[in-house]
Amino acid sequence: MRVYGYARVSTQEQAEEFDALNQQIARLKAAGATEVLIDIESGRSDARKQFNELLKLVQQNQVDEVIITRIDRLGRSVITIHKAIDIFVKQNVNLRVLDAPVDPNSPFGWFSINQMSGLAEFESRLLSQRVKQGNEYFRQQLKYCVPPFGYAKDENHRLTPNRNIHEKSGKTYFELAKIIIDLTLELRSLQDVCNYIYTEYEVVFTVAGLRDWVKNLVLQGHTAYFVKKKKGINREPIINFHTHEALITPATVEAIQAKLSANRKYRSSATSTRGDYPLAGLIRCTHCQGSMYRNFSRHKTRTEYMRCVNYNKLGKYHCENSKCTRLRQIISKTIAELCENAPKLIEYLESQSETTQVVSTQEIEKLSNELSVLRALRSSNPDIIQAIAKIEATINSRSIPVKMIERDTFENAQRKIAIASQATFWESLDDSELRVTLAEFVEKVEVDSEGAVTPSFKLPLTLSSMRP
């Protein structure tokens, strides 16, 4: 008998700290569930991955019985619960609710489920209303969650200047914030400001973070809510003016806006072609394995060169590779290496044509998804650890060895490599053609602080051609 259990908690905190998920799983297994599907998500959401997987399995006649601890584990909406139960009834799947045994096929059971699902939705709506009222009261009291740099919260959770002393500079955080504002107006770019304050004061800001910070209405002395728009939420901002000491004046705000507008022309636009060049996305820094970005010299020749993206980052993510290597030099060295190593690629291709690899079937993919869910729980429960080991063993035992490359595919790839070994072929391509063709042969290209270029090649085979 194919018996599935379904367990759900709303938050990771419930799963880890209160052990609610493990309790559900243990009860479901004790009740006879051979497999348990798990979601850590609100019951008001209809996009729960494992819940929808359960409904899919039921519709495919792969389930005989579904076990849950309470009816609200299926959802916190009357419509969602009824949709699930209708599917169970149509497919003749027995639903067992451990805390309240009911028969959805009987009139009394149908009535009981209606009452329980209505109560589940009522509790959810009541909680939502309480949270909404609490947040509304929070805003009416001018309270604030996370103050921006330079500000703190008083005993009433309202904004106030941060008078604590910054250890490195000996100044208060509020004074240090004023210095950062002055530097924003004085220095050439926000990146220069970030570098300076990290070197001098060990204060870390990203460029985007600094840009958002100087625009924050808190710095102007206002307490505001719903300023940043969120997807799916269309609410007008609530701004309470002059609620605390301001860090910047209206004149400073205008000066900052003018500075940001002037700097905007140096940033990417909607019509940017920064990724439209040969080897785009394939060039890596040898030292940190970070990507490298393209820039142009200020000379009228507009020479393209590549630089490690982590060189401009601060703290532990900073990379010492400051070398600016010409893009055309990287491309020419990569092509030269490819022409030279073409015979080795063909030799490797011939060896691979006789080898095998493991191809994932649909069943293995399903087991892999279940394995990911169980690992995400990070549980010390012996049953879950045993289930993880069992799934891993099943995946290993059901892997299918198949031939990696067919003869026709091999000959086609061999022909491509032979053409690519001719320098005249590469000279005939324009940049757009060069980008597409190099992407077919090149896995990545590493560039070190001395400008040395080390390409790694791949076989010119698509994923589909690797399957029989």
What is the distance in angstroms between the CA of the first residue and the CA of the last residue of the chain? 36
Q: Confidence class of residue 462 from pLDDT cuts 50, 70 and 90?
A: very low
- Structure confidence by residue, pLDDT tens digits, 157-215: 999 999 999 988 899 999 999 999 999 999 888 888 988 898 889 898 988 899 999 99
Residue 307 lies in a domain: no
Residues in Cβ contact with 143 at an 8 Å cutoff, skipping those fewer than 6 apart: 153, 156, 157, 158
Residue 65 lies in a domain: yes
My answer on whether 333 and 236 are in the same domain is no
Residue 356 lies in a domain: yes
Residue 309 lies in a domain: no
Instruction: Tell me the three state secondary structure of residue 152.
Output: strand
My answer on whether 255 and 201 are in the same domain is yes
Q: Are 454 and 446 in contact (CB under 8 A)?
A: yes
The DSSP secondary-structure symbol of 309 reads G
Distance CA 71, CA 51 (A): 13
Q: Confidence class of residue 270 from pLDDT cuts 50, 70 and 90?
A: very low
Residues in Cβ contact with 174 at an 8 Å cutoff, skipping those fewer than 6 apart: 150, 151, 161, 162, 163, 247
Task: Say what the pLDDT of residue 464 is.
Answer: 31
Q: What does pLDDT average to over the chain?
A: 82
* Structural domains in the chain (count): 3
Q: Which domain holds residue 427?
A: 329-360+399-466
- Structure confidence by residue, pLDDT tens digits, 285-316: 998 888 888 888 877 778 888 989 888 777 67
Instruction: Name the domain boundary from 236, 264, 292.
Output: 264
The DSSP secondary-structure symbol of 35 reads E
Q: Which of 89-98, 209-218, 275-284, 368-377 has the lowest mean pLDDT?
A: 368-377
Residues in Cβ contact with 302 at an 8 Å cutoff, skipping those fewer than 6 apart: 296
My answer on whether 109 and 166 are in the same domain is no
CATH of the domain at 233: 3.90.1750.20
My answer on whether 161 and 128 are in the same domain is no
CATH of the domain at 128: 3.40.50.1390
Q: Are 139 and 123 in contact (CB under 8 A)?
A: no
Residue 392 lies in a domain: no
Instruction: Name the domain boundary from 114, 137, 160.
Output: 137
My answer on whether 23 and 78 are in the same domain is yes
Residue 192 lies in a domain: yes
The more confidently predicted of residues 124 and 423 is 423
My answer on whether 62 and 128 are in the same domain is yes
Q: Which of 178-192, 196-210, 237-251, 403-417 has the lowest mean pLDDT?
A: 403-417
Q: What percent of the chain has pLDDT over 70?
A: 85
My answer on whether 116 and 169 are in the same domain is no
Residue 318 lies in a domain: no
Task: Say what the pLDDT of residue 135 is.
Answer: 83
Q: Starting from the edge strand earliest in sequence, which strands make up the sheet with 304-308, in order?
A: 292-296, 304-308, 325-326
My answer on whether 122 and 167 are in the same domain is no
Instruction: Name the domain boundary from 71, 105, 137.
Output: 137
Question: Which phi and psi angles does 202 have, rounded to 5°?
Answer: 60, 35
Task: Say what the pLDDT of residue 246 is.
Answer: 93
Q: Are 402 and 467 in contact (CB under 8 A)?
A: yes
What global pTM score does this model have? 0.48
My answer on whether 43 and 112 are in the same domain is yes
Q: What type of residue sits at position 135?
A: N
Q: How far is CA 213 from the centre of its chain?
A: 24
Pick from 184, 191, 189, 188: which is nearest to 253 by CA?
Answer: 184
Distance CA 272, CA 113 (A): 57
Task: Say what the pLDDT of residue 18 is.
Answer: 59
Task: Say what the pLDDT of residue 387 is.
Answer: 81
Task: Say what the pLDDT of residue 422 is.
Answer: 85
Distance CA 263, CA 258 (A): 9
- Structure confidence by residue, pLDDT tens digits, 369-387: 777 777 766 666 777 778 8
Pick from 380, 389, 387, 373: which is nearest to 9 by CA?
Answer: 373
- Structure confidence by residue, pLDDT tens digits, 304-354: 889 898 887 776 778 888 888 999 999 999 999 888 888 877 777 666 555
Residue 302 lies in a domain: no
My answer on whether 187 and 83 are in the same domain is no
My answer on whether 91 and 196 are in the same domain is no
My answer on whether 51 and 23 are in the same domain is yes
